[in-house]
Structure 1
Amino acid sequence: MAWIKKANSAMFKGADWNTLIKKVPNCTLEEAKRIAIKNPKITFFFFCREGMILENLGDKGIFNPGDAVFFSGEPWYGSAPQCDSYQKTGMSVAYVTLSEIQTAGCYTMADGSAAVDVVCIFAANINLKPFPSKMIELAPNTKVPDGYPYAVGNPEYAGLTSAVVQELQNKGITVLLTFLNNWDDSGWSEFPDAATAANFAEQLKEVVDRLGLDGIDIDDEYSKNPNQNPSSLVMVTTMMKRLMPDIIISKALFEDSQYFTPVYQNRTLVDNLSYGWEMSYWETPENRLPVYYELGMAKNTLVCGFESGKSPEPLTTAVEWLKNNSYGGVMVYAFQEQPNVDLLGNLVNDWYGSGNWNKSPNCS
C-alpha cells in the first residue's frame, strides 16, 4: 500500500534536482517500487511510460521508456503526460510462513497494485551442529568452521527457490527471509568474535544471492546462551552491510535499546538497520516507537506491529497516530492465519480508505 500515485507527472524541471538519488533504466513499475522500499532515503520516484526530455537539465533530463527516477525530500511535480509519480507513504508488512507466502500476493489495492509491500518469510534459523532433526544447510557452499553457527531451515526450505521469491517480487512485493535463534547457544547476540560473525554474514550472502532476496530480517529471540556479546548485533550487521550494501537489513524490535549503544568500526546498529518492526503488540504505538526514534532511527523506518487478539482497539486511532507522526507503516504477524489477514486488511483500509483491501479472484 506504500504509494500515493500522481498520474501524468514528474519532478518539475525547475525544482531542486540535487535531491536526485539515481535513475534506473529498463525497469518495471514493480521493480521500481522494490528499489524505493530498499532505500529508506527514497521518498518518491517517477516512472516513464514514454520517452521524455526536460529542458535545462542537460543529459540528466533525457528519459526513455522504462526509466525510474528516484528522489529524496518533498516532491515538486510538473505536468508530464509520459510519466507517473509515486510518493512513499505507510508500508504494510506481513510475517508469513513459507508454505503460505503466496497468500501475500492475493490482495490488491483499489488501483490493482499489491496491498502487501513487504513479506518476511518466517523463519529460517541459526543453529550449531548437531542441528535439530532434518534441518538443512541454507548456504552449503560456504565453509563453516567447527563450532561456528550455521544458517539452516527445516525440510520445507528445500522448496524455497528464486522462482518462489520472484513470483511475489513480480507483483511489486519486497521479500525478506527472517532468521530466528533456535534454542541453542548460538544466536544474533551470541557471536563471540569478528571471525564468527563474518562467516555467518558470508552464509547470508550466499542465501540472498541464490534466492534473489531483497534482504534479511533479524529476530533475536530464543537463544539459551546466557553469555551475550553486547557488540554482536552491530558487528554482524556491519559485516552484512559491507558484503551486501544494497539489501534491506531489518529487525523485529522488542525492548532493544541496549543494542543501539555499542559501536563497531565507527558504526552503530542505527547505521546498519534499514527498518525496524516493533512487536510489543499489546501496547499502543505512542508507547512503542518513540524510544527508537530517540535512539536515532528515522520515523519512516519504524513500523508498528499488530497481531489479532493482542493489539488494543481501536485500530483507527493507532493508524491515525502513526500517519500524523510520520511513522513508517504497519506490520502483522502470522499472516497465514485468517484473523491476521483480516487485521491487515482493516489496517490498510484505515490508512488509505475503505475499498483498498481486495482479494484477487485468482486466489482461493
Structure 2
Amino acid sequence: MLRQPTLLAFGLMAFIASFAASARNVVFLNNPSPQDVKDIGRYVVKSTGKPFFSDLVLFAANINGSTPNTPVLYYNAEMTAILKNNIDAVRQLQNKGIKVQISYLGNHQNAGWSCSMTSATATKLANAMVADVVKYGLDGISVDDEYSTCSGSASSFYAVLKAIRANTYFSGKTLSKALWSDSSYFRAPYNAANQLTEGYEMTYGGSVSYLTPYVGYGMAKSNLFLGISPEFSSASQAGIIAKNVADGGYQGVMIWAPNAFLNTTTAAQYYTAIVKSQAGSTESVQYVP
C-alpha cells in the first residue's frame, strides 16, 4: 500500500523546488575575448527572459614578483583588452544584473596569495587588488592560489583575505575562492571560511561530496557551487550533477571555460540540461543575439 505524502512532505518538496528554481550559476571565462564576455548575457532562461548566469569571473589577472614581499599585479593582453579597451562589455552584463569578478592567479614567480609575506605586504597587495576592482567597476575578487613558486603560508593567505574584506571600498562585493585540495587554509586560527563570501569547488569529478568539507569548515551551503567542465562532463551528465547540487541544498553550479569548449548553440544546449534540473523539465536556455 502506498503511503500518502504528509503536509510536511509536501512542504519539504515545495522548499526543495523553490530552492532549485532560485539557483545561481557562475561562469569562468578563460582568457576571454570581449565577444565571449558579451555572449554571457545573451544566454537567457526562456520562461523568464532572465540571464542564466548570475556571475562571471574573468580568468585571470596575475600576481607577479621576484620575492614574496614585492608582489605586483599583472594583466595579460586578454584582460587588458577587456578592462581598458572594452569595459562596455562588462557594463552590459552588469546592467542585466550579472556580477563580474576578476580572478587573481600566481604566475610561476616568487609571489602569490599564500607566500610568506609581512603583514604590511599582505595589506598592500590586498589594497592594490581592491583599488583595481574599484577602478574598473568590478563586483569582486576571486582567489586562485596556484602557480606561484612559493606557497603554503596559511597566516599570510588569511592576512590578504582579511585586508581585502577590511577595505571600505570593498564593502558589498564578492570575495570568492577556487576550492580544491586546500584544507590547510580552513583551520583555526586562519580559517578562510571566515572571510570568503563564496566558494567554487573545482575538482570537476561531478560529486557533490566535494562540497561537504567546506560546510564543515563553516561555509554556508548557500555560498557554495560545484564546478562543471564541458571538457569532462557531457550535457546530460551536467544535468545530473546540477540536480544533485540542488537536491543537496547548495546554491548552484560553476561552469569552467565554456568559451574554450562550446559554441553558442552547444552552450545553450548545455545550459538547458542544467536549468531543467534546477527549475523544471519544461525550462530551457536560449542564446539571444
- Is the TM-score greater than 0.5? yes
- Give the Å deviation of 1:87: 10
Q: 2:32 aligns with which of 98, 102, 123?
A: 98
Q: For each residue in 1:302-352, what CA deviation from the matched residue of structure 2 results, as whole angstroms up to 9, or x when unmatched?
A: 100001232486334322221122101001101213438343342123212
Between 1 and 2, higher relative CO (CA 8 Å, sep ≥ 6) is seen in 2
Distance 2:230 2:171 in 1: 35
Which residue of 229, 254, 269 maps to 2:180?
Answer: 254
Post-superposition shift, 1:166? 1.2
**Aligned-partner Cα distance in 2 for 1:88–1:209:** 32
Distance in 2 (CA, whole Å) between partners of 1:324 and 1:189 is 34
Letter in 2 for 1:249: L
What's the counterpart of residue 162 of structure 2?
238
- Amino acid of the structure 2 residue aligned with 1:239: A
Q: Distance in 2 between matches of 1:203 and 1:121?
A: 17
- Flag the structure with higher helix content: 2
- Residues 19-70 of structure 1: CA deviation (Å, up to 9, x unaligned): xxxxxxxxxxxxxxxxxxxxxxxxxxxxxxxxxxxxxxxxxxxxxxxxxxxx
How much is the aligned-residue C-alpha RMSD, in angstroms?
A: 2.4
1:251 maps to amino acid: K
Match in the other structure for 1:334? 257
TM-score, length-normalised on structure 2?
0.81
What does 1:138-177 correspond to in 2, within 5 Å? 147-159=69-81, 160-161=83-84, 162-177=87-102
Number of aligned pairs? 257
| 1:317-356 pair list within 5 angstroms | 317-339=240-262, 341=267, 342-353=269-280, 354-356=282-284
Give 1:262 deviation, angstroms. Answer: 4.2
Q: Helix, strand or coil for the counterpart of 2:108?
A: coil
After TM superposition, list the pairs within 5 Å mapping 1:120-135 onto structure 2: 120-128=57-65
From 279, 285, 288, give the equivalent of 1:357: 285
Q: Deviations over 1:248-298 (max 9, x none)?
A: 00001001111011425xxx3111101000011024112x01111111110
2:127 is matched with 202
Distance 2:247 2:69 in 1: 49
- For residues 191 and 153 of structure 1, the distance between their equivalents in structure 2, rounded to whole angstroms, comes to 23
Could you list the runs of 5+ residues in structure 1 that have no partner in the other structure?
A: 1-74, 76-85, 131-145
Q: Which amino acid aligns with 1:296?
A: G
CA distance, structure 2, for counterparts of residue 87 and residue 321 of structure 1: 10
How far residue 151 of structure 1 moved from its aligned partner, in angstroms, is 1.3
**Residues 115, 283 of structure 1: alpha-carbon distance in 2 compared, 3 angstrom cutoff:** closer
Distance 2:116 2:134 in 1: 23
Q: Which residue of 2 aligns with 1:49?
A: none
Contact 1:260–1:270 (Cα < 8 Å) also in 2: yes
- Larger strand proportion of the pair: 1
- Identify the residue that residue 221 of structure 1 maps to in structure 2: 146
List gaps (5 residues or longer) in structure 2.
1-14
- Pairing of 1:24-103 with structure 2 (within 5 A): 89-96=22-29, 97-99=31-33, 100-103=36-39
Secondary structure at the counterpart of residue 172 of structure 2: coil
Larger radius of gyration: 1
Contact 2:200/2:226 (8 A) holds in 1: yes
Deviating beyond 6 angstroms after TM superposition, the runs of 4 or more aligned structure 1 residues are none
Give the share of equivalent positions with the same residue, in percent.
30
Structure 1 284/346 Cα, relative in aligned 2: closer, same or farther at 3 Å? same
Distance 1:147 1:295 in 2: 29
Query: Match of 1:282, SS?
Result: coil
- Deviation readout 1:78-123 (Å, 9 max, x if unpaired): xxxxxxxx99821111001331211211111121111111100011
1:272 aligns with 2:200: no
2:154 is paired with a residue whose SS is coil
After TM superposition, the score normalised by the length of structure 1 is 0.65
Query: Which residue is 2:50 aligned to?
Result: 113
Letter in 1 for 2:285: W
